[in-house]
């Protein structure tokens, strides 16, 4: 069995075990989150040894050539010597230029970097603060329209990073960012196809970017956006989206809350349930799902069974566990 | 003389069939418990490999792979009825795509040839 050397000590791998599993099994604390190769939190630097192709899938070419890899995706065929990433290779510094409360629990953060970050609307960034806490946040901005990087942060009960961002991170301060990551984006072509977007909570953030990207690129087909929250007060972009829908005849904004009461211009019920009931045949639709992992998983299945092709379902589940 | 895979339309035919086939399988409550849906995209990719093989396309499947991959499912009760249900969905997928009957028969023969390995007999 291959062995992993980390900080001068060597740890044997079990059969079919990933580098991340080997380190964790030996009680080594390294950052990680989704364990599915999407969040990039567990990225390590290979100092010696050969990497597998899956362990470098989706990394930027520069990081690949520097032998960075994802520990959760690497079942090493032979011995590896690994280290934590060098921050200067991976992270860039961003300055907070605006922090605005949008609802009782959601804040909008706008960040700027000295060097432009090239991204697609709908991708996400990893933020790392001085304490070394890393969390993923989706971009709500549109690179062609917005000068800053916009993130929506919900105060998660017991969530260390969200509390720190909301309470301690103030305008003018800097934070380290890595990215962009993720594939939940609007792709050009076939502007007439209908789009179904379902987001719960701050799952609205990437959809707000993707939606404006689609409109910006001249999407002509109907766009149905369902934003689901518990309390109506958490429909944190209600006015902007209502206004946007008035400007664009093909955009239909469905504000959904599940608090059990009835309110005007809002829908009672869960966003995904309402969306799938109202659109039972999703053949030829493109579907975007963002938010709580369980909602994304169940809705992906339902959307697929309702006729959407697997390749037409894009999803961004919140993978980062808040501690 | 073109191969079965070419006659069926190659990879494009697999792509056309896989969504229909996997959807039928997932919707069938008699078998869907064997299809782990924690990672639907990975599962979908596996169905594509299976169809490529059944279509006579390039594949690296060996009998041992089939046995190993299905052994945990056999331990959970996978039997001939389940195998036949999946085969039935394959057949109806091909019919839905208007594949000529003689080619359907060839695909079903290849799929059927995996039965003993799949059921670990």
Mind listing the pLDDT tens digit for each residue in B1-45? 689 999 999 989 999 999 999 999 999 999 998 987 677 888 888
DSSP assignment letter at B68: H
**Is residue B59 included in any domain, yes or no?**
yes
Q: Which residues of B fall within a CB distance of 8 Å from A304?
A: 19, 22-23, 26, 40
Each residue's pLDDT tens digit in chain A (323 positions)? Answer: 899 999 989 999 999 899 999 999 999 988 888 888 888 889 999 999 999 999 998 888 878 888 999 999 999 999 999 999 877 788 999 999 999 999 999 999 999 999 889 899 999 999 999 998 989 999 999 999 999 999 999 999 999 999 999 999 999 999 999 988 888 999 888 999 999 999 999 999 999 999 999 999 999 999 999 999 999 999 999 999 999 999 999 999 999 998 877 777 788 889 999 999 999 999 999 999 999 888 998 999 999 999 999 889 998 877 644 33
Tell whether the torsion through CA atoms of B103, B109, B112 and B117 is positive or negative. negative
What are the structural domains, with CATH classification, of chain A?
3-86 (3.10.20.30), 89-181 (2.40.30.10), 195-315 (3.40.50.80)
- CA B97, CA B4: separation in Å to the nearest integer? 16
| pLDDT at A243 (0 to 100) | 97
Give the residue among B66, B43, B58, B84 at the shortest CA–CA distance from B121. Answer: B66
Q: Are B40 and A300 in contact (CB < 8 Å)?
A: yes
| pLDDT at B1 (0 to 100) | 62
Q: Strands of A118-250 (E only): list them.
A: 124-128, 134-138, 149-154, 174-181, 195-200, 223-229
**ipTM attached to this prediction:** 0.84
Using an 8 Å CB-CB cutoff, list residues of chain B that contact chain A: 18-19, 22-23, 26-27, 37-41, 44
Q: In what order do the strands lie in the sheet with A9-12?
A: A9-12, A3-6, A80-83, A43-48, A68-70
Tell whether the torsion through CA atoms of A212, A313, A34 and A202 is positive or negative. positive
Number of domains within chain B: 1
**Is residue B88 included in any domain, yes or no?**
yes
DSSP letters for A241-305: HHHHHHH-TTEEEEEEE-SS---TTSEES-HHHHHHHH----TT-EEEEEE-HHHHHHHHHHHHH
**Is residue B24 included in any domain, yes or no?**
no
Q: Which of A297, A305, A309 lies nearest to residue B27, judging by beta carbons?
A: A305
Number of C-beta neighbours around residue B62 at 10 A: 10
Kind and range of the H or E element at A39?
none
Give the residue among A228, A207, A154, A181 at the shortest CA–CA distance from A33. Answer: A181
Q: Are A189 and A286 in contact (CB under 8 A)?
A: no
With a cut of 70, say whether residue B67 has pLDDT above it.
yes
Give the residue among A214, A266, A210, A216 at the shortest CA–CA distance from A238. Answer: A266
| pLDDT at A126 (0 to 100) | 93
Q: Are A4 and A23 in contact (CB under 8 A)?
A: yes
Q: For chain B, what is the largest distance between any 2 Cα atoms, rounded to a whole number of angstroms?
A: 43
Residue B44 sits in which domain range? 40-121
**Is residue B103 included in any domain, yes or no?**
yes
Q: Are A300 and B27 in contact (CB < 8 Å)?
A: no
With a cut of 80, say whether residue B60 has pLDDT above it.
no
From chain A residues 287-306, the ones with a CB under 8 A of any chain B CB are: 297, 300-301, 304-305
pLDDT in tens, B86-113: 999 999 999 999 999 999 999 999 999 9
Q: Are A240 and A100 in contact (CB under 8 A)?
A: no
**Is residue B56 included in any domain, yes or no?**
yes
Q: Are A158 and A322 in contact (CB under 8 A)?
A: yes
| pLDDT at A322 (0 to 100) | 39
**Is residue B70 included in any domain, yes or no?**
yes
């Amino acid at each position: 069995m291959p062995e992993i050397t980390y900080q001068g000590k060597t740890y044997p791998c079990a059969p079919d075990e990933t580098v991340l599993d080997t380190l964790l099994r030996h009680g080594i604390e390294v950052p990680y989150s989704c364990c599915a190769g999407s969040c990039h939190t567990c990225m390590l630097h290979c100092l010696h040894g050969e990497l597998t192709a899956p362990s470098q899938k989706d990394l930027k070419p520069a990081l690949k050539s520097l032998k960075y890899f994802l520990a959760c995706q690497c079942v090493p065929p032979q011995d590896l010597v690994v280290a934590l990433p060098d921050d200067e290779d991976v992270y860039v510094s961003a300055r907070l230029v605006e922090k605005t409360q949008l609802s009782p629990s959601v804040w909008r953060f706008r960040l700027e970097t000295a060097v432009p970050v090239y991204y697609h609307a709908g991708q996400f960034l990893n933020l790392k603060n001085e304490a070394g806490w890393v969390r993923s946040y989706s971009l709500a901005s549109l690179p062609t329209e917005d000068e800053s990087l916009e993130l929506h942060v919900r105060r998660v009960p017991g969530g260390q990073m969200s509390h720190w961002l909301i309470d301690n991170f103030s305008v003018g301060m800097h934070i380290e960012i890595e990215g962009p990551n993720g594939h939940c984006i609007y792709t050009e072509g076939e502007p007439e196809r209908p789009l179904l977007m379902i987001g719960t909570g701050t799952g609205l953030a990437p959809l707000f970017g993707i939606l404006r990207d689609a409109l910006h690129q001249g999407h002509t087909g109907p766009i149905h956006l369902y934003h689901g929250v518990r309390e109506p007060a958490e429909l944190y972009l209600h006015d902007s989206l209502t206004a946007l829908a008035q400007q664009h005849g093909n955009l239909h904004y469905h504000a959904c809350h599940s608090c059990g009461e009835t309110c005007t211009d809002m829908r009672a019920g869960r966003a995904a349930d309402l969306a799938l009931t109202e659109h039972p045949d999703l053949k030829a639709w493109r579907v975007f799902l963002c938010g709580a992992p369980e909602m994304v998983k169940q809705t992906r299945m339902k959307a697929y069974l309702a006729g959407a092709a697997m390749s037409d379902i894009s999803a961004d589940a919140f993978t980062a566990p808040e501690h | 003389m073109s191969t079965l895979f070419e006659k069926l339309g190659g990879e494009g035919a697999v792509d056309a069939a896989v969504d229909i086939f996997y959807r039928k399988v997932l919707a069938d409550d008699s078998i869907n418990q064997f299809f782990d849906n924690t990672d639907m995209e990975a599962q979908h990719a596996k169905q594509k490999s299976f169809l490529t093989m059944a279509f006579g396309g390039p594949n690296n499947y060996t009998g041992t792979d089939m046995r190993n991959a299905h052994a945990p499912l056999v331990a959970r009760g996978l039997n001939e009825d389940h195998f036949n249900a999946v085969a039935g969905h394959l057949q109806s997928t091909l019919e839905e795509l208007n594949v000529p009957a003689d080619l359907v028969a060839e695909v079903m023969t290849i799929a059927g040839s995996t039965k003993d390995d799949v059921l670990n007999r």
